[in-house]
Structure 1
Amino acid sequence: MKVKNISLVCLALFVKRAFTDCSANIKKQGYSCCSSCIIYFTDNDGKWGVENGKWCGIQEYCENIPTDCSSTIKSQGYACCRSCDIIYSDESGDWGIENSYWCGISNSCKNSQQSNIVVTQPTTNTSQPISNAANDDYVDSNRKVQSVVASKYSSGVSVHDPSVVKYGNKYYIFGSHMDTAYTTDLWKFTKLYTGVNDNNKMFTNLFSKSNYGAFNFVGKNSDGGYSVWAPDIIYNNRMKKWVQYFCTSSTYIKSSICYALADNVEGPYTYKNCFIFSGMDSKTVGKTNLKAVIGYEDMNRYYPNNKYNNRVYPNAIDPNAFYDFKGKLWLVYGSWSGGIYILELDESTGLPKHNISNGNNTDRYYGKKLAGGNHQSIEGPFILPHKAVGYYYLFVSYGSLTSNGGYQIRMFRSKNPDGPYTDVAGKEFMSGNNSSFGVKVMGNYNIPGREQAYMAPGHNSALLDDDGKVLIFYHTRFNDGQEYHEPRIHQMFLNKEGWLCAAPYAYTGETISETGYSMNDMVGTYKFLFHFHNKINGDISNLYTINLNKDFTVTGRYSGNWSYDKGTHFMTIRIGNIIYSGVFIRQLDEAKSATVTAFTAIGGNNDSVWGVRF
């Protein structure tokens, strides 16, 4: 390589900086241009940075900075260089200096014809980069965190109420309105089926001209069509069939849960029958199986004064089937109305056993109540058995599913498949205000790198993958004034107490470090947000700036302290008198432009918190 005098580098950097500029709108407000390229915030005026505790404008020179330099360099918080001038080389890779900051040389420079500078002992005043692997407690005061790029990530399809099932290398999501899609990379989906009509080949006979059996009780919806909602797919080991549980509905209480069978996960499915009904009265009960199940018991308790008692009994939608640790098959279901219920299924038929007696929160026909009631918002139940930790995790959604309806994901857990299910505060939601119960996994939020906030995330499913990773699948809307929605996938991690915490960014294949992270990885400035459990509305979680300092204090918008368990990924952060327990994780942002340090944690008050270092 040709060696040049270091003074030429300084001259080149001076020329680049002298003939570039930042946004005129930012300068009009009295702010100067930044010397670095680290983006802290973007708005209509341009891209903003922070230097010496003051806002500044990011220079035009910083546009299109490469991202393909050494991953080891990027993992230490350094950006990639625009130039190919090598100042220093070590086990991490080739280094350059731009705007007085160390940066990594782009891999594309290897094939470049540009002259490179190699200086074994740097003659600038910039401190030599130090690998964080050398000392886990070392914090490089000159470390600069690579900025994230604004993302317009799309998963490529729209599927509401996604229920996941994996077969082979494909992850399928079955959703409402007979929409189905699949993915192999957990990033982009391909549509498989769509549309509630006979042209949709998911079913062979759902719209049979002879009887329309799945709609015999519920009839048509208010739009004059048919509603097919919230399917769930499971392979029945004894029947040796794929079973699709789904619901048909026409009003907020008049619904039925049905099932269909197939030899292949993609179908086609053959509709068999409906077996749980809600919203009946004395005139319509004859179209249900209620009398066949309960015999000569008094049926008036289900519809006193000839009106369905929906504050006590459930709306028969949103089914989810699962096997427990002992191989028993269960079905959990329900939406608003009388809450969430569970029934044991007969594995030989896939249908309810109806083997419990009437009692407090139990009913022979509907099963055992798990949560909710009194027509408060709660729906979309999904139970994830996690045998390794000995818990069943119950996910539900609160709020209204529209963009500004406060839709959100809540979580409970139990040692038994049929409960009791409690939150982190040890409370079971059988009465009272719904907002007081359940860990709030996520609600409306925005994080660095997103052009639009995520709105109304909910009606999730979850998967314990073959590699032991827990993935949560949900649909989300956006802060764009529309109701368009897409599926998203995030990884979830167990904290020390065995609660599942969701990663802030969509899943890109990240693997958490079982031996933890260095202080250099963890200490720094974070964008920080709360998922407040007491909010069920359209508010978007505010982003605050906090610092995790090397003396384990927390400063900035909130004060407190933080800690980590050395040799693990576990961490805690105390804000006020609340301690949040979670994990650190290094993951890509949604533009896949930078690997960032993040944390996710759950508090004893049922709030979740996220932090993203920037």
Structure 2
Amino acid sequence: AIGLQTSSSPEGPWKDEGLVVKTREHDKLNAIDANPVLDAEGNPRMVYGSFFGGIYITPLDPLTGKLKESGYGKNIAARDRATEDGAVEGPYIVYNPMFRKYYLFVSYDSLFEDYNVRVARSDSITGPYVDMNGHDMADTSYLPQYEIGNKVLGGYRFSEGEGWVAPGHNSVLKDGADYYIVHHARGETDKSWPYLHVRKILWTAEGWPVVSPERYAGEKEQDIPKRLLSGNWERIVIRQEVDGQVEAEPLRLEDGGRATSGSLEGHWSFDGKRTLTMDWSDTSEGTKEELLLLPSWDWELGRHTLIFTGMNEKGISIWGKRISD
């Protein structure tokens, strides 16, 4: 059940306004994880729903905060089975006026083991929400792990320091022109303890959100000198099909533009400002990566560093961190 309380101050006191929506055991959805959201014209809606039955959106009465229409609303995201490996929950919608798009963030899978965050976007707040490959998040014919949603956050581990598992159930904070993703995650050595993470969101030229591989530490977007790019990095590919952690792989950027990472060999180029482009020889995961550079705090090594975050032409998220010259 989702209820409503009101107050003239964020600190309270709060008045109980009663029930907004309730579901029962055999209903087609689960009435939790409420996210009230305004569309670009200021009209209030609520996106909600969890685990089985999918995600729904419904208009709210601006005077009462209750549902404006009877029923559950419109289904905008779903998966094909009501199990932990078929879960979709924790919806959050944000509007980006620069791209005139609505972005739906949802979490997949088990919050204890392999939670991950997927994103799709729409021209309308009520959908349809499609990923970079044009797949509708409400279409259950796609394989849930492999074929649906831009996976922007999942379990990972750099070569040194503790990694993280099951990051998810996010919110998005818009602070002026800056965007941040707020979510919980579990340390790999003791998954019983969840922690709060805040990470910077950057936006690709095509208007897709990508997430920093390091937790936020006050960094600002800025132009990066080219001389800082060559050297040894670590690269993480946030593969859709991987349950749990993804391990970092070595990445070497040479002064002449040559790039190597494991069995991959290719070239890198730089726009002179903030975008690093990787061109690899043909791989099944895509050959071209648009990567956004950002100064960052290295939480694993306790020092300043450079990171990149972006995606390839197939919508697979790519992370990186500079290690040494």
TM-score (norm 1): 0.49
CA contact (8 A) 2:291 2:318 kept: no
Distance 1:268 1:438 in 2: 40
| Cα distance in 1, alignment partners of residues 158 and 18 from structure 2 | 45
Higher helix share: 1
Matched, 1:328 2:33: no
Cα deviation digits, residues 432-486 of structure 1 (max 9, x gap): 2222211111111123653x211100000011103x1111100011111341111
Are residue 578 (structure 1) and residue 287 (structure 2) matched? Answer: yes
2:152 aligns with: 441
CA distance in structure 2 between the partners assigned to 1:275 and 1:570 by the alignment:
45
Counterpart contact for 2:235–2:248, Cα < 8 Å: yes
Share of identical aligned residues, percent? 29
Deviations 1:382-416 (CA, angstroms, capped at 9, x unpaired)? 011111221111111001011xx211111111121
SS in 2 for 1:509: coil
CA offsets per residue over residues 121-156 of structure 1, 9 Å max, x none? Answer: xxxxxxxxxxxxxxxxxxxxxxxxxxxxxxxxxxxx
> Contact 1:496 / 1:570 at 8 angstroms: preserved in 2?
no
Letter in 2 for 1:279: R
Report the AA paired with residue 500 of structure 1. Answer: P
Q: Does 1:370 align with 2:88?
A: no
Partner of 2:248: 543
Change (3 A) 1:273 1:320: same
Shift of 1:556: 3.4
Per-residue CA deviation, residues 289-347 of structure 1 (Å, 9 max, x unaligned), is xxxxxxxxxxxxxxxxxxx25xxx22111010111111111100111211111001111
**SS of aligned partner of 1:559:** strand
Instruction: Return the offset for 1:350.
Output: 0.8
Q: CA separation in 1, counterparts of 2:11 and 2:107?
A: 27
Q: Per the alignment, do residues 547 and 591 of structure 1 end up closer, same or farther by CA in structure 2, a change over 3 Å counting? A: closer
CA distance in 2, matches of 1:449, 1:485: 20
Q: Is the 8 A contact 1:437 1:606 kept in 2?
A: no
Partner of 1:270: 15
Deviation at 1:549, TM superposition (A): 2.2
Contact 1:440-1:608 within 8 A present in 2 as well: yes
For residue 530 of structure 1, the aligned residue among 225, 237, 246 is: 237
**Post-superposition, which runs of at least 4 consecutive aligned residues in structure 1 deviate over 3 A?**
none
Q: Which amino acid aligns with 2:149?
A: G
Whether the aligned pair in 2 keeps the contact of 1:599 and 1:611 (CA below 8 Å) is: yes
- CA distance, structure 2, for counterparts of residue 501 and residue 476 of structure 1: 17
Greater mean alpha carbon deviation, residues 418-427 or residues 573-582: 573-582
Structure 1, unaligned runs of 5 or more:
1-255, 281-307, 355-363
Q: In the alignment, is residue 352 of structure 1 matched against residue 67 of structure 2?
A: yes
Letter in 2 for 1:339: G
Q: Is the 8 A contact 1:471 1:491 kept in 2?
A: yes
User: Residue 127 of structure 2 aligns to a residue in which SS?
Assistant: coil
Q: Is the 8 A contact 1:578 1:605 kept in 2?
A: no
Instruction: Indicate the residue corresponding to 1:505 in structure 2.
Output: 214
User: 1:565 corresponds to which residue?
Assistant: 271
Please give the alpha-carbon distance, in whole angstroms, between the structure 1 residues aligned to 2:99 and 2:148: 22
Letter in 1 for 2:251: I
Listed one character per residue, the Cα deviations across residues 240-278 of structure 1 (whole Å, up to 9, x for unaligned) are xxxxxxxxxxxxxxxx11111112112232222112122
Letter in 2 for 1:462: V
Query: Using the alignment, how far apart are the partners of 1:348 and 1:579 within structure 2?
Result: 49
8 A Cα contact 1:457 1:477, kept in partner: yes
2:189 is matched with 480
Tell me, in whole angstroms, the C-alpha distance in 1 between the residues paired with 2:296 and 2:35: 31
Quick one: which amino acid aligns to residue 492 of structure 1?
Answer: I
Query: Is 1:454–2:164 an aligned residue pair?
Result: yes
Q: Given that residues 153 and 238 in structure 2 are in contact (C-alpha distance below 8 angstroms), is that contact kept between their aligned partners in structure 1?
A: yes
CA distance in 1: counterparts of 2:13 and 2:266, whole angstroms: 56
Aligned counterpart, 1:259: 4
Give the distance between the partners of 1:480 and 1:391, measured in 2 at CA: 39
Q: Which residue of 2 aligns with 1:20?
A: none
271-280 vs 374-383, greater mean Cα deviation: 271-280
1:386 aligned onto 2:96 = yes
Aligned to 2:313: 604
Corresponding residue number in structure 2 for 1:17: none
Work out the number of aligned pairs and report it.
311
- When residues 441 and 277 of structure 1 are mapped into structure 2, their CA distance, relative to the original with a 3 A threshold, is same
CA contact (8 A) 1:449 1:589 kept: no
Q: Given that residues 298 and 304 in structure 2 are in contact (C-alpha distance below 8 angstroms), is that contact kept between their aligned partners in structure 1?
A: yes
CA separation of 1:485/1:353 partners in 2, compared to 1, >3 Å: closer, same or farther? same
**In 2, Cα distance between equivalents of 1:503 and 1:275:** 36
| C-alpha displacement of 1:367 | 0.6
> AA paired with 1:335?
S
* Matched-pair contact (CA < 8 Å) for 1:345–1:353: yes
Q: Which has the higher strand share?
A: 2
Alpha carbons of 1:500 and 1:260: their partners in 2 closer, same or farther (altered >3 Å)? Answer: same
Q: Which amino acid aligns with 2:130?
A: T
SS of the equivalent of 1:397 reads strand
Shift, 1:373, TM fit: 3.8
Indicate the RMSD between aligned Cα atoms, in angstroms. Answer: 1.7
What is the alpha-carbon distance in structure 1 between the residues aligned to residue 79 and residue 252 of structure 2?
A: 42
Contact 1:321 1:331 in 2 (8 A): yes
CA deviation digits over 1:31-58, x for unaligned, max 9?
xxxxxxxxxxxxxxxxxxxxxxxxxxxx
Residue type at the aligned position of 2:305: V
CA contact (8 A) 2:160 2:301 kept: no
Aligned to 1:401: 111
* Cα distance in 2 between the residues matched to 1:446 and 1:266: 39
Give 3-state SS (helix, strand or coil) of 1:520's partner: helix
Structure 2 counterpart of 1:332, one-letter code: V
Partners of 2:301 and 2:191 in 1: CA distance: 26
Asked whether the equivalents of residues 496 and 582 of structure 1 are also in contact (C-alpha less than 8 Å), the reply is no
Of residues 409, 413, 421 in structure 1, which corresponds to 2:121? 413
The alignment partner of 1:273 has SS state of strand
Q: Distance in 1 between matches of 2:296 and 2:159?
A: 13
CA distance in 2 between partners of 1:373 and 1:441 (Å): 18
| Cα deviation code 1:482-534 (max 9, x no counterpart) | 41111010001111111111111111111111xx3222111221111111112
